[in-house]
Chain A
């Protein structure tokens, strides 16, 4: 499958009082077109920072200090755009259009004093103005207007706006009383599209929902609206950052169901960031496991769950409560390291049950350990602890 987005040796650091937090340590990931990629790991392992670095929205005091983010907008996945060297304006046109993001906290992501419809329409008005103006222009041809001058005037504005969405004259007209009403048809179009996209997400009476305010809606509904906003411009990549973690089981089931359906319908890829291995098992095609700022294992979901090679992945799978097993839970001893002063070599080695001398000395690199299965470990082998060094690395 052609690539969609790729990170190479991504390094992001946070400059804090305590020191430099080395949040990302040469993260390399490939997300392919039309797949759901799950990124799992514990809090502070850098999974959110990876996604934010991809979109270049790392919060203060973080800085992206190295590596590349390659974006392949074309169907065939050939031509790459290096996002880290692009201008901020380019990134803005990309965010919400070709790459969009859903956050964990729906309450924080929705503006409480704007109606749902306006918030969804905002995305259209920002990214799809040109297209919508053309559409309105089309409609105007058959429209019945009280006097012909008005039609001329409207056509004039829409033609200018369709040619260049940032047209000075149109901008000026949108701020002038009375004249600013030229946009009405544009707003109506945006609203129509909002209703359409909201209805597509299994929300009953979408035309009423668009007029409500966020506080009128329940948590699950808000999360759906966020998904609607993210999907408004049919992005190539949808980043869902813990999108279901705060929801109840029954609501989470609804949202996961929805994401699954969406994936079937459209080809958009999803980057699902979560700490819940259950969610990953049910929705993802490929999984990347992160620990303390580096990727330890990437594989297809079935392969990862059946044949985990990295000791951390195994420990994680053992620590999760399961439906069918009972008794003592196996826990991973120790705590997540402080990333100001991360362990030398492999960052997992202080907690690793299989550690060798080399683990403390050299950072293992991601290497192919099987068909479509990458592992970053000096040792990889049988489950029973009879680890064998493979590939002489």
Chain B
């Protein structure tokens, strides 16, 4: 035991804490599945147009969906887009949305939160008032404004989401730092003449980042939902883009079939809808397990 590197031991302990929770296991299995699909997308569903793989291939323009067949494993949705292809490549889109939005938002939020919490006084006042203003901005209006200004596209939706989402991270990070700022080891570092940047990076960040990680994990799921919602409204990805939200939007008129056979077009909504649900669920389960694992009260229980 002793000869192994302590960081490895620490990692093992953290993993133990996480996987002691059965819901984390389910979450990670789901995520693994999505991950494999995303990575292997070119093999599972070879793109028709190699230059732009995210564009869903379609044969014809008939608005009536077609049921699953040998050619279209999950059937086609309105516009004859292949659902199977959309679901597979939509996994990549989902990861892209989640990681990019949360990545940018968390990076900005953590930095500002650290600065606000550590320095306090004027810096704190300025940053937190900016956050208050950001909280007052309605997401939908902002997105519409950005779409109007920069044109329709997934990038712009992600940009808009990141522009709104950072505010949460600032608050969480700041409150964590406020509690840590007066810890003795931070005071000790000050006495030793350690620079502000180093105190923030070595002492405050590693100890205060856990609540942010938990939120970020859960946020990845909710960002995908929000982006899907935007796509559903027609603010997101351009038509034909492999995006789950887009596919649900395409199925909008076929959620309920003709009278007498309400479940006729079930496949149009079920597959992309299920993907969204499972994807979000996976992240939430993991986030929940992380929350338990990082609970400082039961760290060495």
Interface residues of A (CB under 8 A from B): 16-18, 60-61
Q: Which residue of B lies closest to A15 (CB)?
A: B301
Q: Which residue of A lies closest to B16 (CB)?
A: A17
Q: Which of A16, A17, A60, A61 is most buried by chain B, counting CB atoms within 10 A of its CB?
A: A17
Per-position contact with A for B205-240: 1 when CB-CB < 8 Å, else 0? Answer: 000000000000000000000000000000000000
Chain A residues near B301 (CB, 8 Å)?
A: 16-17, 60-61
A303 to B169, alpha carbons, bound, how many Å? Answer: 63
Chain A residues near B129 (CB, 8 Å)?
A: none
Chain B residues near A60 (CB, 8 Å)?
A: 301
Chain A residues near B13 (CB, 8 Å)?
A: 17
A61 to chain B, nearest CB (A): 6
Nearest first, the 7 A-B pairs at minimum CB distance are A16-B301, A61-B301, A17-B16, A17-B13, A16-B300, A17-B300, A60-B301
A-B contact pairs, 10 of them (CB 8 A): A16-B300, A16-B301, A17-B13, A17-B16, A17-B17, A17-B300, A17-B301, A18-B300, A60-B301, A61-B301
A224 to chain B, nearest CB (A): 29
| Range for the number of chain B residues in contact with chain A | under 10
Chain B residues near A16 (CB, 8 Å)?
A: 300-301
Please name 6 further chain A to chain B contacts, defined as beta carbons within 8 Å, in addition to the given A16-B301, A60-B301, sorted by A numbering: A16-B300, A17-B16, A17-B300, A17-B301, A18-B300, A61-B301
Chain B residues near A61 (CB, 8 Å)?
A: 301
B186 to chain A, nearest CB (A): 24
Q: Which residue of A lies closest to B13 (CB)?
A: A17
Main secondary structure of the interface of A (DSSP, over half): loop
Interface residues of B (CB under 8 A from A): 13, 16-17, 300-301
A60 to B297, alpha carbons, bound, how many Å? Answer: 12
B133 to chain A, nearest CB (A): 34
A16 to B20, alpha carbons, bound, how many Å? Answer: 12
A16 to B301, alpha carbons, bound, how many Å? Answer: 5
A17 to B10, alpha carbons, bound, how many Å? Answer: 12
Q: Which of B13, B16, B300, B301 is most buried by chain A, counting CB atoms within 10 A of its CB?
A: B301
A380 to B301, alpha carbons, bound, how many Å? Answer: 38
B13 to chain A, nearest CB (A): 7
A61 to B301, alpha carbons, bound, how many Å? Answer: 7
A18 to B301, alpha carbons, bound, how many Å? Answer: 9
A259 to B246, alpha carbons, bound, how many Å? Answer: 74
A18 to B17, alpha carbons, bound, how many Å? Answer: 12
A61 to B300, alpha carbons, bound, how many Å? Answer: 11
Chain B residues near A17 (CB, 8 Å)?
A: 13, 16-17, 300-301
Q: Which residue of B lies closest to A60 (CB)?
A: B301
A60 to B17, alpha carbons, bound, how many Å? Answer: 16
B26 to chain A, nearest CB (A): 22
Chain B residues near A18 (CB, 8 Å)?
A: 300
A20 to chain B, nearest CB (A): 13
B129 to chain A, nearest CB (A): 31
Q: Which residue of A lies closest to B298 (CB)?
A: A60
A60 to B301, alpha carbons, bound, how many Å? Answer: 8
A16 to B299, alpha carbons, bound, how many Å? Answer: 10
B1 to chain A, nearest CB (A): 11
Chain A residues near B17 (CB, 8 Å)?
A: 17
Q: Which residue of B lies closest to A61 (CB)?
A: B301
Q: Which residue of B lies closest to A14 (CB)?
A: B301
A342 to B16, alpha carbons, bound, how many Å? Answer: 24
A361 to B190, alpha carbons, bound, how many Å? Answer: 50
Chain A residues near B16 (CB, 8 Å)?
A: 17
A44 to chain B, nearest CB (A): 13
A148 to B13, alpha carbons, bound, how many Å? Answer: 71
A17 to B13, alpha carbons, bound, how many Å? Answer: 8
A131 to chain B, nearest CB (A): 39
A114 to B279, alpha carbons, bound, how many Å? Answer: 45
Q: Which residue of A lies closest to B17 (CB)?
A: A17
A154 to B154, alpha carbons, bound, how many Å? Answer: 73
A35 to chain B, nearest CB (A): 36
B149 to chain A, nearest CB (A): 51
A9 to B70, alpha carbons, bound, how many Å? Answer: 73
A357 to B13, alpha carbons, bound, how many Å? Answer: 38
A241 to B300, alpha carbons, bound, how many Å? Answer: 23
A60 to B16, alpha carbons, bound, how many Å? Answer: 18
A168 to chain B, nearest CB (A): 39
B53 to chain A, nearest CB (A): 45
A307 to B34, alpha carbons, bound, how many Å? Answer: 72
Q: Which residue of B lies closest to A16 (CB)?
A: B301
